């Protein structure tokens, strides 16, 4: 990290850009993990390459998978077979690594130690730890029970499986983590969620869908209740969809700056919650069109409207929507996102602090944010190691002169070369994926 903040470019004319967004983080890391436990090799076509995917690749290699990144970026995975004990795994700040990998280490033939960035030690892990404990797997730190990273999973080579109940109200990733490795459990898994809410439901549907696509019998049997049967996980060739949440800041740019931004290869059908952007951006004032060839166009009309929005199902979109809300001509209320306090940073506090720093008006609600119309000014946006706080600053900077972003390199968590892509979007013309 350099101390010199990045000067967010200000848009001096309407945009006209085609932006090819790299592969989905959520899909890439699910496919990688499933490839490591598959019964045959897997080839991932157009996966994401970023800090989060690199951490997943390193974790799976340490556990015995053979992973080769081809020069063009495709990834070949040879399954691990036996999961190797003795590894020390760095989860960085990746939710998909710190939540998805521990259940896999339960199958290791020995202890596996997991740790991550300083902030990773504060992110909630309760559902994963309770799930493992409920399955008879011991998790400890320095010999004592723990609720957070760092910890050691005491693998015993096999997991029987059965009925497990967890509270996933602060992260859907607890559910996905246990479901992903469930086909390897001797009796499969019958998983129930207790708790008054369940965020990011599309990400749980994504987990069920990638399992089914690999030949696994994985189903939602009722609200907050899932069942995965034991059985082999198929390999084969998988084309990874572009990351629709990472498309968010580029599409939002069309509203902030005016003009049109197009994103190719938008899937006709997807479990990615980023698909909700089509409706959300239209409600905020954009003209949105998905062409038959899969190109999504978003055109700004010169106005940005606020909105009242329940983001329970798509919380990772909140920083992008909040940036537009800070530029809007009417108030915004974002609800159902209390769990964002446990994301890369406490995103509700960070968004209020940074909107206020730029002259805006925002306040925290128990489960969300309220953002009022205001005239913004320049300033240095702090990012708190959060990729989406950096792209939040970039979106506002298009419309407000003098915005700088501290540690823009933090975008490498899911979108390396974000500054280059952003600059080329402003120069108009084609922006190739990083
Ligand atoms: O399973 C996944 O890939 C994700 C689930 C969501 O997590 P939470 O349910 O913790 O918000 C989302 O915010 C995160 O970016 C990715
Ligand atoms: C919450 C996010 O990431 P993670 O996978 O680390 O939870 C995110 O990318 O917005």
Shortest-distance Cα residue to atom 3 of ligand 1: 26
pLDDT of residue 380 exceeding 90, the answer is: yes
Q: In a 3-state reduction of DSSP, which class is residue 151? A: strand
pLDDT of residue 95 exceeding 90, the answer is: yes
pLDDT of residue 158 exceeding 50, the answer is: yes
Average pLDDT over the chain, rounded to an integer: 97
Q: Is 316 among the residues known to form the active site?
A: yes
30 is in an annotated binding site: yes
Can you say how many angstroms the Cα of residue 274 is from the centroid of all Cα atoms in its chain? 10
* Confidence label for 431 from pLDDT (cuts 50, 70 and 90): low
Q: Which of 247, 193, 185 is nearest to 211 (CA)?
A: 185
Answer yes or no: is the C-beta of 378 below 6 A from any ligand 1 atom: no
279 is in an annotated binding site: no
The helix or strand, by DSSP H or E, that contains position 298, with its residue range, turns out to be: strand 296-300
For the segment 167-213, what is each residue's pLDDT rounded down to a tens digit?
999 999 999 999 999 999 999 999 999 999 999 999 999 999 999 99
For the residues 70-96, what does the mean pLDDT come to? Answer: 98
Answer yes or no: is the C-beta of 171 below 6 A from any ligand 1 atom: yes
Same fold, 6-23+241-431 and 25-235: yes
Can you say how many angstroms the Cα of residue 169 is from the centroid of all Cα atoms in its chain? 17
25-235 CATH fold: UDP-n-acetylglucosamine1-carboxyvinyl-transferase; Chain (3.65.10)
Q: DSSP letters of 210-276?
A: HHHHTT--EEEEETTEEEE-------EEEEPPB-HHHHHHHHHHHHHH-EEEEES---SS---GGGG
Shortest-distance Cα residue to atom 6 of ligand 2: 95
pLDDT of residue 434: 44
For the segment 242-278, what is each residue's pLDDT rounded down to a tens digit?
999 999 999 999 999 999 999 999 999 999 999 999 9
CATH class of 6-23+241-431: alpha beta
64 is in an annotated binding site: no
* Confidence label for 428 from pLDDT (cuts 50, 70 and 90): low
pLDDT of residue 415 exceeding 80, the answer is: yes
Q: Give the separation between CA 159 and CA 142, rounded to whole angstroms.
A: 23
Whole-structure pTM value: 0.98
Answer yes or no: is the C-beta of 274 below 6 A from any ligand 2 atom: no
* Confidence label for 357 from pLDDT (cuts 50, 70 and 90): very high
pLDDT of residue 429 exceeding 80, the answer is: no
Q: Give the separation between CA 76 and CA 73, rounded to whole angstroms.
A: 10
Shortest-distance Cα residue to atom 13 of ligand 1: 316
Q: Which of 397, 77, 45 is nearest to 234 (CA)?
A: 77
388 is in an annotated binding site: yes
The ranges assigned to domains in the chain are: 6-23+241-431, 25-235
Answer yes or no: is the C-beta of 95 below 6 A from any ligand 1 atom: yes
Q: What percent of the chain has pLDDT over 90?
A: 97
For the residues 325-335, what does the mean pLDDT come to? Answer: 98
- E-assigned strands of 305-389? 308-310, 332-335, 361-365, 368-372, 379-381
For the segment 3-33, what is each residue's pLDDT rounded down to a tens digit?
799 999 999 999 999 999 999 999 999 999 9
pLDDT of residue 302: 84
Shortest-distance Cα residue to atom 9 of ligand 2: 316
Q: How far is the CA of 171 from the centre of ligand 1 (A)?
A: 7
Q: How far is the CA of 205 from the centre of ligand 1 (A)?
A: 12
pLDDT of residue 3: 78
- Exactly one of 241, 316, 354, 370 is catalytic; name it: 316
Q: How far is the CA of 344 from the centre of ligand 2 (A)?
A: 7
Answer yes or no: is the C-beta of 96 below 6 A from any ligand 2 atom: yes
Q: How far is the CA of 325 from the centre of ligand 1 (A)?
A: 22
Q: How far is the CA of 316 from the centre of ligand 2 (A)?
A: 7
* Widest distance between CA atoms in the chain: 61
201 is in an annotated binding site: no
Please work out, in degrees rounded to the nearest 5, the angle formed at the alpha carbon of residue 184 by the alpha carbons of 178 and 190: 50
* Packing angle of the helix pair 25-36, 51-62 (nearest 10 deg): 10
């Amino acid at each position: 990290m350099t101390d010199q903040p990045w000067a967010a470019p200000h848009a001096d004319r309407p945009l006209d850009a085609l932006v090819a967004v790299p592969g989905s983080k959520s899909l890439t890391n699910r496919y990688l993990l499933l490839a490591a436990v598959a019964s045959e090799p897997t080839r991932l076509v157009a996966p994401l390459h970023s800090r989060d995917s690199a951490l997943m690749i390193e974790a799976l290699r340490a556990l015995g998978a053979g992973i080769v990144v081809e020069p063009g970026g495709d990834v070949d995975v040879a399954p691990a077979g036996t999961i190797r004990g003795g590894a020390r795994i760095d989860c960085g700040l990746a939710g998909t690594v710190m939540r998805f990998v521990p259940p896999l280490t339960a199958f290791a033939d020995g202890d596996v130690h997991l740790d991550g960035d300083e902030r990773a030690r504060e992110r909630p892990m309760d559902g994963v730890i309770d799930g493992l404990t409920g399955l008879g797997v011991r998790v400890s730190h320095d010999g004592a029970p723990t609720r957070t990273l760092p910890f050691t999973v005491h693998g015993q080579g096999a997991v029987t499986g059965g009925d497990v109940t967890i509270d996933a109200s602060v992260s859907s990733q607890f559910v996905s983590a246990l479901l992903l490795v469930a086909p390897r459990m001797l009796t499969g898994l019958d998983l129930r969620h207790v708790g008054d809410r369940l965020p990011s439901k599309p990400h749980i549907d994504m987990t069920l869908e990638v399992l089914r696509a690999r030949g696994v019998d994985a189903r939602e049997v009722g609200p907050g209740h899932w069942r995965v049967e034991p059985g082999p996980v198929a390999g084969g060739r998988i084309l990874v969809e572009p990351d629709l949440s990472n498309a968010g800041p580029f599409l939002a740019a069309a509203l902030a700056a005016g003009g049109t931004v197009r994103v190719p290869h938008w899937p006709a059908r997807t479990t990615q919650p980023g698909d909700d952007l089509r409706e959300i951006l239209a409600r905020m004032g954009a003209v949105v069109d998905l062409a038959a060839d899969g190109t999504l166009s978003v055109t700004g009309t010169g106005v940005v409207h606020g909105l009242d929005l329940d983001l329970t199902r798509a919380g990772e979109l909140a920083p992008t929507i909040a940036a537009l809300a800070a530029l809007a001509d009417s108030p915004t209320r974002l609800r159902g996102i209390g769990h964002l306090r446990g994301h890369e940073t406490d995103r509700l506090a960070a968004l209020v602090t940074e909107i206020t720093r730029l002259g805006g008006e925002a306040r925290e609600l128990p489960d969300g944010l309220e953002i009022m119309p205001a005239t913004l000014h320049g300033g240095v946006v702090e990012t708190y190691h959060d990729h989406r706080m950096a792209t939040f600053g970039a979106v506002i900077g298009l419309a407000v002169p003098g915005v700088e972003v501290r540690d823009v390199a933090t975008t490498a968590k899911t979108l390396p070369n974000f500054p280059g892509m952003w600059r080329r979007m402003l120069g108009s013309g084609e922006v190739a994926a990083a």
